[in-house]
Amino acid sequence: MRSLPIGIDERQLRAALSEAWGLDVDRLEYVPKGGGSYHWLAEAADGQRWFVTADDLERKPWLGDDSDSTFDGLRGAFDVALALYEDAGCEFVVAPIRTSYGTSLHRLSSQYSLAVFPLIHGEPGEWGTPLDSPVRTMFLRVLAHLHESTSTVRHRAQRRGLRLPGRIDLENALAALEQPWPGGRFSEMTRTALAANAGRVSEWLSNFDYLTDVVGRSDLELVITHGEPHPGNVIRSGTDLLVIDWDTVGLAPPERDLWMFDDGSPDGLAPYVRATGRGSDAEAIELYRLTWTLADLSAFVAVLRAPHDVTADTEKAWRAFSSYLR
């Protein structure tokens, strides 16, 4: 997130880091990166550094319906990431550092959770920037390793991918297009744009329901998936490719991860196919491609329709919302 979170101050963070991880932090620097989470670089007096992440438990609908269930869902996802790293030999997983009492996550407040990660030295990818061919091949092999590690975490991972997070926000918005939206500067602009594309968005929702039914009735194997394996979630560290942001991890058909790599060419998924002997299902690929679009639209509508100020985050939400409709 580009803007600092409301309701978290530096003193509160320092106290939580000391209490839950035993970290004596000398310096905290806010890092305005990513979306959906807030990040800080923490440094001790001896130069040791960590990456600290706070998550807004009111803004992760794929994990739960309220703050408590979302916290439980996030902790479960991070527990899976830890199991993949510690038990399945998935060294590419950037998992959280356990608290001093052994958990993967700390409850900072009723609204926020806190996690600490190792600081990775390397070259991060960037959302929207295509991976070059060698890194793309490495990433597909990493996904193959991940999917082949399912047995280690099957008993604790949640099923993902056949539910549209935030759908109610999008459907409520479509039903309220005749009345003004007074939330903030971008609200009326959002209503106008959505009204001009309401038929197309409704068609996407209908197609989502059709594809969900088809894929739900299929016999596709369920594997452990990352959920968002895009360029912004990888770090090139030496000869290794490391994967971050495991809050979306869950059991699903492999296509939940593979759709981002399916360019329509015969060899687009070749490194994965060679590693696993598993092909891909065209309707499942289309389902997860459509799920991504609709989930993002739902999230942006929820932000832009609600009361808001003009910030770097609401400006980014408006640009992204507009780009999807274009």
Q: Which distant-in-sequence residues (6+ apart) come within 8 Å of 197 by Cβ? A: 325
Tokens standing for 111?
């609204």
Q: Is residue 56 classed as helix, strand or coil in its secondary structure?
A: strand
Q: What is the pLDDT of residue 188?
A: 98
Between CA 162 and CA 253 the distance in angstroms is 10
The model's pLDDT over 143-189, given as tens digits with 9 standing for 90+, comes to 999 999 999 999 999 998 788 989 999 999 999 999 999 999 999 99
Quickly count: other Cβ atoms within 10 Å of residue 151's Cβ. 10
Between CA 233 and CA 256 the distance in angstroms is 15
Residue-wise over 152-164: b if at least 16 C-beta within 10 A, else e?
bbeeebeebbbeb
The model's pLDDT over 205-225, given as tens digits with 9 standing for 90+, comes to 999 999 999 999 998 999 999
Given 119, 135, 163, which residue is the final one in a domain? 119
Whether residue 203 lies inside any domain: the answer is: yes
Outline where DSSP puts E strands in 75-138: 106-107, 112-118, 123-124
Between CA 201 and CA 126 the distance in angstroms is 28
The model's pLDDT over 240-256, given as tens digits with 9 standing for 90+, comes to 999 999 999 999 999 99
Given 75, 102, 119, which residue is the final one in a domain? 119
100 lies in the same domain as 180:
no
161 lies in the same domain as 270:
yes
